[in-house]
């Protein structure tokens, strides 16, 4: 028996329930749900790219919020039958207030029907700011008790309904979580959210709705049903904050002590569980799909040459080692692999290593300080073929999207290698053992681009004789944007200290050794003015670090995030930041704001800047001169450690 298609020919979107021809089916086998791309992108657990749409019901919403992407899509799920939300089975991930229908089907807490039977629907907001803990004019969340001063969030007072950041991202209360609860005219009281199956039977039978969950009050040891709008998380140190209040009775004091003790117990349980998971995961490499050959993604195509276009070498089948390493094979010299149907040597040809996958035996091992690595099990000679670098072949646009997604989810391991000017091999999700080879400033292998059957492929070759049991490494030649640099832990004598920085030469190493061993007469160091001011390691707009683009103007240290500049890719050629152009007419500036890129020419500067309390620096109308942005106050207190002199400079040592 099969289901009939919808009369209109268009399937309804599982998120918005609207039917039209623009919906796409989830690419997971057996799913069968359809979504608009815009609807799917609203969920952090969804994946929408050139390979297809993977709907949110195949990843745990809680784990996605915790940025644990590998764990999010593994294990059994409990899926909501009304919306695209899913959680791992068990109490640690599922949102409190969800109704379990079967072991794998739920109605999540988003579908609360409070209000139909007279229950209050609006939350009970606190009377103080969650950031500064002061009262005043507060901005209240429409879904939870959170309240904020608009100035503490650096926003204007919005009109209409407003949700806090946690509610916008879908963060929910969970079972075994310590919270503050507001019940009737009682004060905010510490309690623990309980699973309905674990509370007394008479509490289970009390009237409640979807989205309601039972809480256990510390001190009084009572139970009651409540909802997200009346609870907010208990954090470490809340006991001392509440003890400072003027009026506190014995029961409340007892509740504070029990809550603090239970909070530490649950914290220890989570840490032990995470330690066990980390220890278990460290026994094997992170998950990936093993493939033997490159897999094109999206519009990328693998080039296949016609037999008439493939060059023919002059080797003979009677040669001692036709097309071998010591032969005069023209194809081998030009890094072309012979084709089995074209090469005169036929089956005796020794220049078909990519096609035949003639790899030496290797093993993936755990290294000290560098994660997982690859070791050879056999002796290798200089020039030997080690392996081909295999993965998904993607274009430049897909590469940028994957890097952006990795940065948003705090992923720091990359497996991308440039194949051609517009194609990249990404061995992250799919690849072979070559993906485990670590970087070294003094590597024993190198990458070479060979043409195989008309297409470019990357092979790794031994730079020297390598003994069995030695780790295989190559130089990543990492290309970095901005000032973000990754530390190198290769331990080589000429290690530069960072990936993407040229290793030290033998001359530099010799000079450093002489400088360390020389005993010079102490004398006062002469400070040399730097020829160029170093760039900032934080964004001039938001004060955060990360991947930055830097101003090319001399003496300007400013750096920015691309998103803060509303750019999708780094500017081409020489680029000067907006701090040097009038924000009104783009002419050369006469005065600038000290806290943001707002700048003005002589014609427009009148009345645009006022002195701030931070050393009198000029401040535009976007900021409060009495209270500069928080990150500037922190950056102004940073002390810079003076670097030691370079070898050859005057030094008191």
How far does Cα 173 stand from its chain's mean position?
A: 24
Q: Where residue 21 falls among pLDDT bands split at 50, 70, 90?
A: confident
How far does Cα 518 stand from its chain's mean position?
A: 46
139-272, CATH topology level: SH3 type barrels. (2.30.30)
Distances (CA, A) of 318 to 322, 348, 349, 534: 8, 9, 11, 64
Which two three-digit tokens encode residue 198?
């674990």
- From 201-205, 543-547, 646-650, the region with the lowest mean pLDDT: 646-650
Do the Cβ atoms of 36 and 23 come closer than 8 Å?
yes
Mean of pLDDT values over 313-337? 90
How far does Cα 326 stand from its chain's mean position?
A: 47
Give the number of other CB atoms < 10 A from CB of residue 230: 20
Tell me what the pLDDT averaged over the chain comes to. 83
At 32 the pLDDT is 87
| Cα–Cα distance, 225 to 217 (Å, whole number) | 11
- From 119-123, 327-331, 552-556, 610-614, the region with the lowest mean pLDDT: 119-123
| Cα–Cα distance, 252 to 343 (Å, whole number) | 88
290-474, CATH topology level: Beta-clip-like (2.170.270)
At 146 the pLDDT is 94
Segments making up each domain of the chain, as ranges = 24-111, 139-272, 290-474
| Cα–Cα distance, 551 to 542 (Å, whole number) | 16
Mean of pLDDT values over 451-463? 93
Q: Where residue 563 falls among pLDDT bands split at 50, 70, 90?
A: confident
pLDDT of residue 638 exceeding 70, the answer is: no
| Cα–Cα distance, 106 to 289 (Å, whole number) | 31
| Cα–Cα distance, 119 to 210 (Å, whole number) | 12
How far does Cα 492 stand from its chain's mean position?
A: 29
Q: Where residue 652 falls among pLDDT bands split at 50, 70, 90?
A: very low
At 640 the pLDDT is 39
Q: Where residue 118 falls among pLDDT bands split at 50, 70, 90?
A: very low
At 639 the pLDDT is 40
Q: What is the pLDDT of residues 465-510, one digit of tens each?
A: 999 999 999 988 765 444 456 778 777 787 877 766 666 555 555 6
Q: Which of 401, 404, 399 is nearest to 415 (CA)?
A: 399
Q: Which of 154, 153, 155, 232 is nearest to 188 (CA)?
A: 232
Q: Which residues of 143-173 are buried (b: 16+ CB within 10 A; e: fewer)?
A: bbbbbbbebbeeeeeeeeebebebbeebbbb
């Amino acid at each position: 028996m099969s289901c009939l298609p919808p009369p209109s020919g268009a399937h309804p979107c599982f998120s918005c329930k609207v039917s039209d021809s623009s919906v796409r089916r989830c690419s997971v086998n057996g799913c069968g749900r359809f979504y608009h791309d815009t609807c799917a992108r609203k969920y952090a657990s969804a994946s929408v790219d050139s390979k297809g749409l993977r709907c949110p019901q195949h990843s745990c919403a809680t784990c996605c919020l915790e940025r644990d992407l590998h764990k999010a899509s593994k294990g059994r799920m409990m899926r909501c039958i009304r919306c695209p939300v899913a959680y791992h089975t068990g109490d640690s991930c599922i949102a409190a207030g969800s109704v379990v229908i079967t072991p794998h089907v739920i109605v999540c807490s988003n579908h609360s029907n409070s209000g139909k039977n007279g229950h209050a629907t609006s939350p009970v907001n606190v009377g103080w700011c969650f950031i500064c803990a002061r009262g005043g004019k507060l901005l209240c969340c429409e879904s939870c008790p959170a309240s904020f001063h608009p100035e503490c969030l650096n926003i204007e007072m919005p009109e209409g309904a407003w949700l806090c950041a946690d509610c916008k991202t879908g963060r929910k209360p969970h079972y075994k979580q310590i919270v503050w609860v507001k019940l009737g005219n009682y004060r905010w009281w510490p309690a623990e959210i309980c699973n309905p199956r674990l509370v007394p039977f008479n509490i289970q039978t009390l009237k409640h709705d979807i989205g309601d969950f039972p809480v256990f009050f510390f001190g009084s040891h009572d139970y009651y049903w409540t909802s997200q709008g009346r609870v907010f998380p208990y954090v470490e140190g809340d006991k001392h904050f509440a003890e400072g209040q003027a009026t506190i009775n014995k029961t409340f004091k007892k509740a504070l002590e029990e809550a603090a003790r239970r909070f530490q117990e649950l914290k220890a349980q989570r840490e032990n569980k995470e330690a066990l998971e980390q220890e278990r995961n460290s026994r094997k490499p992170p998950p990936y799909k093993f493939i033997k050959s490159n897999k094109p993604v999206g519009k990328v195509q693998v080039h296949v040459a016609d037999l008439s276009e493939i060059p023919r070498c002059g080797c003979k089948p009677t040669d001692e080692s036709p097309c071998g390493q010591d032969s005069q094979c023209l194809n081998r010299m030009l890094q072309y692999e012979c084709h089995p149907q074209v090469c005169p040597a036929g089956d005796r040809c020794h220049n078909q290593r990519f096609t035949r996958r003639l790899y030496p035996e290797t093993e993936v091992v755990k290294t000290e300080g560098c994660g997982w690595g690859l070791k050879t099990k056999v002796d290798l000679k200089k020039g030997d073929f080690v392996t081909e670098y295999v993965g998904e072949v993607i274009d430049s646009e897909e590469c940028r999207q994957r890097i952006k997604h990795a940065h948003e989810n705090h992923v720091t391991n990359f497996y991308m290698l440039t194949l051609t000017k517009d194609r990249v091999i990404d061995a992250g999700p799919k690849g072979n053992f070559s993906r485990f080879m670590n970087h070294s400033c003094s590597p024993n292998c190198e990458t070479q681009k060979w043409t195989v059957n008309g297409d470019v492929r990357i092979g790794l070759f031994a730079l020297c004789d390598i003994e069995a049991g030695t780790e295989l490494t190559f130089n990543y030649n990492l290309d970095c944007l901005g000032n973000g640099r990754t530390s190198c832990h290769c331990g080589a004598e000429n290690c530069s200290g960072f990936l993407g920085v040229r290793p030290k030469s033998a001359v530099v190493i010799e000079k450093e050794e002489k400088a360390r061993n020389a005993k010079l007469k102490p004398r006062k160091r002469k400070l040399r003015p730097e020829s160029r001011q170093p760039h900032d390691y934080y964004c001039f707009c938001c004060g955060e670090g990360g991947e930055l683009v830097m101003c090319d103007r001399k003496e300007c240290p400013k750096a920015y995030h691309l998103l803060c500049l509303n750019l999708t890719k780094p500017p081409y050629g020489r680029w000067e930041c907006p701090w040097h152009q009038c924000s009104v007419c783009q002419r050369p500036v006469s005065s600038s704001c000290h806290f943001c890129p707002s700048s003005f020419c002589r014609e427009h500067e009148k009345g645009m800047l006022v002195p701030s309390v931070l050393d009198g620096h000029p401040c535009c109308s976007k900021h409060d001169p009495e209270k500069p942005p928080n990150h500037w106050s922190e950056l102004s207190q940073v002390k810079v450690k003076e670097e030691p002199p370079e070898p050859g400079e005057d030094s008191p040592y």
